[in-house]
């Protein structure tokens, strides 16, 4: 009886691990999509409304589309407390541990985006947004391709490993 329960728990653990890895890849893709949407909104607001950075930040924070980008609200509160926008943006991005884990090397580009927004004229800021949009679009394409491969592989692999471990226990 105890051996059967152990086999079931081991199988369930491996299966859960496979599903966790698949959801990690899906979450990474959704975060990059939200960043691209954010960059698009920044470009639009700069191009057509010529809003200052603080107003664009307020607009981004009021939207519910950016549930994975919690650093936006932290940045707004920091700027409201008198922190300069570039340093508040950088601190906010670095304080989001989940975001840093998901994006790993690409948080540097996100930090630089905050340093470039509001530092030049409108055309310079638009060029910066275009530059970062291209970086994140290429990363999104790569992650979507990888996600398609592994989203089906990891759950099946976890289940197979769990069953294999259960068989070895017999």
Place of tokens 């491996």: 14
The pLDDT tens digits for 4-14 are 787 778 878 87
Whether residue 31 contacts residue 99, with contact meaning beta carbons closer than 8 Å, is answered with yes
CA separation for the pair 76, 57 (Å, rounded): 7
Distance of alpha carbon 38 from alpha carbon 40, whole angstroms: 5
Q: Token digits for 56?
A: 């664009």
**What is the pTM (predicted TM-score) of this model?**
0.84
| Digit-coded pLDDT (tens) for 32-57 | 999 999 999 999 998 888 888 888 88
How far apart are the C-alpha atoms of 82 and 54, rounded to whole Å? 12
Residue 138 pLDDT grade (very low, low, confident, very high; cuts 50, 70, 90):
very high
């Amino acid at each position: 009886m105890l051996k059967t329960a152990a086999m079931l728990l081991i199988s369930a653990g491996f299966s859960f691990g496979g599903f966790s890895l698949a959801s990690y890849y899906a979450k990474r893709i959704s975060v990059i999509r939200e960043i691209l949407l954010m960059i698009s909104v920044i470009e639009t607001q700069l191009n057509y409304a010529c809003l200052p950075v603080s107003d664009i930040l307020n607009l981004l924070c009021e939207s519910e589309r950016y549930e994975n980008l919690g650093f936006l609200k932290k940045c707004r509160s920091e700027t409201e407390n008198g922190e300069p926008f570039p340093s508040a943006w950088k601190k906010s991005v670095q304080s989001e541990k989940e975001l840093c884990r998901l994006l790993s090397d690409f948080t540097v580009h996100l930090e630089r985006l905050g340093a470039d927004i509001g530092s030049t004229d409108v055309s310079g800021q638009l060029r910066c947004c275009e530059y970062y949009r291209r970086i994140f679009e290429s990363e999104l394409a790569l992650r979507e391709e990888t996600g398609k491969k592994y989203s089906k592989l990891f759950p099946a692999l976890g289940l197979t490993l769990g069953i294999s471990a259960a068989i070895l226990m017999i």
